Amino acid sequence: MVLQRATHRLLRSAAKALPRQQVRQLSIHEYQSHKLLIEFGAPVPKGRLVRTPDEARSAVNELGPCFIKAQVLDGGRAGGVFDNGVQGGVRAVRDPEEAAALASQMLGQRLRTRRSPKEGHAVNELYVAETVPFDAEWYLAMTIDRSNYAPAIIISKKGGRDIDVIAQEHPESIHTFNFGLSEGITQALVSDISSKVGLSAPETESLAPILSSMYQIFSQKDGTLLEVNPLAHSPDGSFTCLDATFTFDNSAVHRQRDMFALRDRSQEVADELEAERHGLLYVKMDGDIGNVVNGAGLAMATNDAIGFHGGANSNFLDAGGKATKETMQQAFGIITRDPRVKAILVNIYGGLTRCDMIAESIIGASKELDIRVPMVVRLQGTNSAEGLRLLAEANLGLHVESDFGRAAQRVVELAKAA
């Protein structure tokens, strides 16, 4: 039972690493993940990246029966729906003409999945991969177990679905194995996996080099989550990496320039990209309360406090310790352009960030942006008294609170009353 609870915690952590909207980790497309697997010696189906129906026709003519897969950075593509009503972002085709016809229906459309934003993602590329005979779909991942301060391998014989679905429907099928990053994939680790998962000799012989390949990618490329799902199990006990979704540590950008050159900004949220250009950490969320906060920890605490009082954030915005008047006004601009926002909470604890500068930013934003939603302001720390004086003199009709909890409660009340 203890092990099962630990596994569930790890799965929740892994699920958070999955990029619903590019949450500050580098995610790469399936075809790019396949290239990495090939480079490091793992078995994958032959495939071709295509951008036109004619290219899809040529690929299937060369490879034979194939799967055509929309290249978007979202899970659940197979169950997705395109704007034109076409069902499924992963489809099997038998001949070149069928491939061309299907590609014409997929390219240039937007695909919505259970993980995507409401507007979905534009499909500009398709990956055409040959079919591989198999008798079962497994799940395999390598990620970081933060509870145990070690990397971990997650494996299940119930693959082909998102890991959260597997965990809900077949929790007993999931096995987790910690290992040392410096030791890598040892014979002892492989034997332990083989014993606890119940692998045959051919299965063990096939899985071991795949684990070694994933470990090399994980360690050399600063991986945070490498998912192979499904891992195709063939009747002879061999495995093939059918689909792969890889995520890498965003803080490794200076070490991994070749990896970060693969970043597909067309799949990202426009407001998040704009915030990044101004040195702001902004993540779009699903609620109706906008936030301007300095510091990631305070931003997370603010999110929790708003949730505790029955509200929901429209964004996570960390202005950081080096925010300027100009960048703060950009932050207000991004938040106030969001039509979902019914109230705004400014929660600043002044250290490097001066509260009087924040007050000047609020005043400037109010004049330039015509902010029409109520705003709650909490300023504490460096020059907070001066900041509060400036706001009082500006007479902007703000709701000023000194208590953290009361500020969160007040903004929720205002949003619900709007």
How far, CA to CA in Å, does 348 sit from each of 299, 335, 354, 385?
9, 16, 9, 13
Selecting among 227, 272, 360, 401, the annotated active-site residue is 227
Cα dihedral 275, 225, 261, 19, rounded to 10, equals -40
Annotated binding residues for Mg(2+): 229, 243
215 counts as catalytic: no
Lookup result for tokens 């997370």: 300
How far, CA to CA in Å, does 40 sit from each of 75, 139, 238, 397?
24, 19, 18, 61
Kindly report each contact of residues 409-413 with a partner whose C-beta sits within 8 Å and lies 24 or more positions away, as own/partner: 409/309, 410/376, 411/289, 411/306, 411/311, 411/343, 411/344, 411/345, 411/374, 411/376, 412/289, 412/306, 412/309, 412/310, 412/311, 412/343
Contacts of 53 (CB under 8 A, 6+ apart): 99, 100, 101, 103, 104, 107
Annotated binding residues: 69, 137, 229, 243, 294
CB–CB of 217/226 below 8 Å?
Answer: yes
139 counts as catalytic: yes
Contacts of 408 (CB under 8 A, 6+ apart): 302, 305, 306, 308, 309, 311, 345
DSSP 182-227: TT-S-HHHHHHHHHHHT--HHHHHHHHHHHHHHHHHHHHTTEEEEE
Annotated binding residues for ATP: 69, 137
Let me know if 309 is exposed, middle or buried by CB neighbors in 10 A (0-12, 13-18, 19+): middle
Selecting among 31, 127, 139, 215, the annotated active-site residue is 139
Residues shown for the chain: 418
Instruction: For the chain, state the CA radius of gyration.
Output: 24
Give the 3-state secondary structure percentages of the chain, helix then strand then coil, rounded to 5.
Answer: 40, 25, 35
For 130-159, b/e burial (b = at least 16 CB within 10 A) is: beeebeebbbbbbbbbeeeeebbbbbbbbb
Return the active site residues. Answer: 139, 227
